[in-house]
């Protein structure tokens, strides 16, 4: 069994350098480490363990949740065009103009249906979220 005197400090320095090189150029690894860190901090600072009072914990968590919701909305705005762009590009690469003119009317109708359904869904989600959220307590400073 190794004791503390047997541990070579230079090997821990090399391990730290190797870990830094691994994380430096890999964004996906940084994201995963950040997610794990966030889950750990949320578990430690959450109201369930009793380390932090419930009111401040809920107040801080509502402020910290906003960037997450914003990030998810931005990802959705990016993913939809990335998925639909190859379809549109394939249609525009067709050699026959008659084929494009026939499909254009159908595509316009599809875009309208998707737009209306998205608006209905977004308004329903906003209505549901705003009806469940209680107003934040007003902090009074003495």
pLDDT, tens digit, 9 for 90 and up, residues 35-94: 898 888 877 777 777 777 878 877 877 887 888 888 888 888 888 888 888 877 776 776
Please state, in angstroms and as integers, the Cα–Cα distance from residue 108 to each residue in 31, 70, 101, 119, 122, following that order.
Answer: 38, 29, 11, 17, 21
For all residues of the chain together, what is the average pLDDT? 76
User: What is the reported pLDDT for 85?
Assistant: 82
Question: Tokens 């939809």 label which residue?
Answer: 80
User: Which band of pLDDT confidence, cut at 50, 70 and 90, is reported for residue 19?
Assistant: confident
47's tokens: 């109201």
Phi, psi of 75 (to 5 degrees): -65, -40
Question: Is the model more confident about 19 or about 7?
Answer: 19
Query: Would the pTM of this model clear 0.85, i.e. be above it?
Result: no
Region 88-110: what's the mean pLDDT?
Answer: 71
At 4 the pLDDT is 47
Q: Classify burial at 107, counting beta carbons within 10 Å of its beta carbon; exposed 0-12, middle 13-18, buried 19 or more.
A: middle
């Amino acid at each position: 069994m190794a004791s503390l005197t047997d541990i070579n400090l230079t090997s821990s320095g090399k391990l730290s350098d190797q870990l830094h090189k691994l994380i430096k150029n890999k964004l996906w690894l940084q994201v995963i480490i950040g997610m794990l860190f966030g889950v750990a901090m949320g578990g430690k600072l959450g109201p369930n363990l009793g380390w932090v009072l419930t009111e401040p914990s809920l107040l801080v968590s509502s402020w910290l949740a906003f960037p997450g919701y914003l990030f998810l909305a931005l990802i959705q705005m990016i993913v939809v065009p990335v998925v639909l762009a190859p379809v549109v590009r394939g249609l525009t690469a067709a050699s026959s103009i008659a084929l494009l003119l026939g499909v254009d009317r159908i595509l316009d109708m599809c875009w309208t249906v998707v737009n209306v359904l998205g608006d209905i869904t977004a308004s329903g989600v906003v209505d549901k979220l705003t009806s469940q959220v209680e107003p934040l307590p007003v902090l009074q400073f003495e």
